[in-house]
Structure 1
């Protein structure tokens, strides 16, 4: 497995085009792997995420089973002149050694962009349900907490005197950067609408194998559109 980081040059028109719709970015990411066929149902999962750290600092992260070639992204949305002088424009790291070193009880900072959804009845007298986005931070955080056990991690609790509200705010996690996306789906009628949020916080590893699956296969829905990728970073 590989973890790749690419900084998007937001001043370029090609970058703005890619950032305008997850469909375009998804296609660009898959184009980084010559051996992958998008129509093949057996294609290994490629996860990606955009971190909007500032107006001029947007980072693309990709987790993949193969080493990518992002030359086309550098030409379209990077710094081609710098790449021509010897700087490739992206960094790719072997991810498997890090994954294998994850130990039970270790504590990490984490970031996750996800599409937290639940199912509601379309009518009170029918059994049919509809997938609906969670829209409040309280329910969005609850969505993540409900996946701790199967995900092999535990969101750390805050000390009592650090709670910001009388009832709630018990965990070392924040929900931010909510985005409502609406875009056309290539090759199909209709539109895709989804809500994404980013979680930042601290977790403890409870089941390393389960967490490895989350880190490499993703969490939740809309993985093709930049959701589901969790990354870890050392404390401090």
Structure 2
């Protein structure tokens, strides 16, 4: 497995066109591999995420079973004449192998928090997005143990607001950058359709409870809409 980081040159017209649709980013990412992995969900898949840390600091992260070639992205949305402004690819397998139960990590995840509801008795369920930070946080908390981790709980003194009331959030978890996306998609039949989805970014601290399950989460993604920049969780040392 490999983890790749690519810095996007947001001043370029090609980058702005690329970023106008998750479908375009997905296509550009898939073009980075001569032989993309199977799409039947039988193994690790290609995951990607855009991290907008500042107005002019946009990073594209890719996790993949094979090493990508981002030459076309450098030419379209990078710094093609600057030798040191390409991309960085790391051996992810060694890092994954060292995950140990009880380890604590900072994490980031962009996901598509959805649930199924039934509006009327007898009707089929309908997939609906969670739109409030509280419900989006609950979505992740409901999946944490199956995904191989538990989000660190705050100490009692850090759960209290200045006036002494208890804070709504008991965990070291922040939900931010909620976005509603609407973009076009080319179907295999040649027809075009619209895709609508809601995304949210999660930052926090987690503790490893099941290293094997967490490895699956980090390489197979969490939740829906993985083709559109959702599901990729990354870890970093706790500061």
TM-score, structure 1 as length reference: 0.94
- Count of residue pairs the alignment pairs up: 231
Task: State the Cα distance separating 1:125 from its structure 2 match.
Answer: 2.6
Gaps spanning 5+ residues in structure 2: where?
none
Gaps spanning 5+ residues in structure 1: where?
none
Residue 162 (structure 1) aligned with residue 158 (structure 2): yes
Residue 98 (structure 1) aligned with residue 95 (structure 2): yes
- Secondary structure of the 1:99 match is helix
- 2:15 alignment counterpart: 15
- 1:127 alignment counterpart: 123
Q: C-alpha distance in 2, partners of 1:166/1:126? A: 41
TM-score, structure 2 as length reference: 0.93
Q: C-alpha distance in 1, partners of 2:218/2:4? A: 13
Root mean square deviation, CA, Å:
1.6
Task: State the Cα distance separating 1:126 from its structure 2 match.
Answer: 2.1
- 2:30 alignment counterpart: 30
Task: State the Cα distance separating 1:233 from its structure 2 match.
Answer: 0.2
CA pair 43-230 structure 1, distance change in 2 beyond 3 A:
closer
Residue 144 (structure 1) aligned with residue 140 (structure 2): yes
Task: State the Cα distance separating 1:88 from its structure 2 match.
Answer: 5.6
Q: C-alpha distance in 2, partners of 1:154/1:53? A: 25
Q: C-alpha distance in 1, partners of 2:176/2:167? A: 20
What does residue range 68-217 of structure 1 map to in structure 2 within 5 Å? Answer: 68-83=68-83, 87=84, 89-122=86-119, 124-163=120-159, 164=161, 166=166, 168-187=168-187, 188-217=191-220
Deviations 1:174-228 (A, max 9, x none): 0000010000112343210000000000000000000000000000000000000
